[in-house]
Amino acid sequence: MSSRTLSSAINRVSQVTQHLSSQAPLKQQLRLASTSSNTSFKLNTGASIPAIGFGTWQDKDAQEPAVTAALKSGYRHIDTARIYGTEPAVGAAIKKSGVPREQIFLVTKLWNNSHAPGDVERALDASLRDLGTEYVDLYLMHWPSAFKASEELMPKDGSGKLAGGETDYVETYKAMEECFKSGKAKAIGVSNFSRSEMERLLKETSVVPAAHQMELHPYLQQPSFDAFHKDNGIHITQYSPFGNQNPIYTKGENMGKLIDDPVLAEIGQKYGKTGPQVALAWGIAHGRSVIPKSKTESRIQANFAGDFHLEAEDVKKIDALDKKMRFNDPSKPFKYAFYSDLDGKQ
């Protein structure tokens, strides 16, 4: 029996158990939920990435207890980035958790101020020091755009605006390949790339990205781009899996919240799940990992229960929700045309 089939069987048992215990106290339901996440996916390196990850963007001061709660709940995929400022908190939580390092799939990202080839390894070394580890399981280029090389994360030009850099993302990625060869990064990949950028990267570099982290959710599905990744053996991690749930996104602020979509709610009733949990399960059903974030322990645990099997008919119902609605597009402040050939570019 394959790991995915075994996972599905286990999760179906979990669904029945949760349905029968729907009137149980919240703490009891959360204990049941914490055992439900078993799905993982194989990267092109042969390593496995857990389907449910824990995101640590924003709320810097809350991340050590949040990551501690996540690890206690069973998460083994933790996502951070240099720009988040949360690497020290993530490292402290991992150290205090008692969970062996080799059981944790740890992801961080290269920031735009360190795209110059000579700065890439130094940037990774700084992240490793803050994380308290000798390696990361996946190192991503956060954006294809370079800023001016600087110790400042957000370097400014003479007019006080972000100072752009000249380094081409292909040259940056080639420097990341050296980090992969040295073992400091067990896998490398990218984030927020367009299709043409991905095609060029594949043509001009020697290490196929193991993963691409990008905005993807029921309101921004990008099926043709998803297929491109599958054809090339590149795993997708969905960030913002709840779409416009984050108040920082002003695009689409007048539309209803994705997590409140009546289709997700209706499907959730069938499985004894919530709309957000259904949104996560939909991503996993398509073979992608998802990285929800929260600083509230009850929601951290509830999100972890988003790894369950959706029947094909329900996946199709969610597939029909696509609005081609992209909530995260910093093209203007970054002075770079992101997503030029993708759905959701406005």
Predicted pLDDT of residue 159: 85
Share of the chain above pLDDT 90, in %: 78
Predicted pLDDT of residue 15: 40
Query: Which positions ≥6 away from 331 have C-beta within 8 Å?
Result: 337, 338, 339
The tokens for 149 are: 């090389």
198 φ, ψ (degrees, to nearest 5): -65, -40
Q: Which residue has the tokens 């416009």?
A: 244
Please write the tens of the pLDDT for every residue from 100-111.
999 999 999 999
The tokens for 61 are: 């001061």
**All structural domains of the chain with their residue ranges:** 37-320
Residues in the chain: 346
State yes or no: 212 annotated in a binding site.
no
Q: Would the pLDDT of 94 be above 70?
A: yes
Measure CA of the first residue to CA of the last residue in the chain; give whole Å.
45
Of 238, 137, 253, 136, which Cα lies nearest the Cα of 191? 238
126-153 b/e (C-beta count within 10 Å ≥ 16 → b): ebbebbebebbbbbbbbbbbbbbbbeee
Please write the tens of the pLDDT for every residue from 224-256.
999 999 999 999 999 999 998 666 666 777 788
Query: pLDDT-derived band of residue 92, with 50, 70 and 90 as boundaries?
Result: very high
The kind and range of the H/E element at 55 are strand 54-55
Q: Would the pLDDT of 33 be above 60?
A: no
| DSSP-assigned letter for residue 136 | B
Helix (H, G, I), strand (E, B) or coil at 179: helix
User: How many other C-beta atoms lie within 10 A of the C-beta of residue 2?
Assistant: 7
Please write the tens of the pLDDT for every residue from 147-196.
998 888 888 988 888 898 999 999 999 999 999 999 999 999 999 999 99
52 φ, ψ (degrees, to nearest 5): -100, 120
Residue 193 Rama label (left phi>0; alpha psi -120 to 50; beta) = beta
**Is the distance from CB of 149 to CB of 123 less than 8 angstroms?**
no
Which of the residues are catalytic?
Answer: 84
Predicted pLDDT of residue 32: 33
Q: What class is the 37-320 domain?
A: alpha beta
Least confident of 115-124, 132-141, 241-250: 241-250
Distance CA 318, CA 305 (A): 18
Residues forming a β-bridge with 137 = none
Angle between helices 275-285 and 262-271 (to 10 degrees): 90
Predicted pLDDT of residue 154: 87
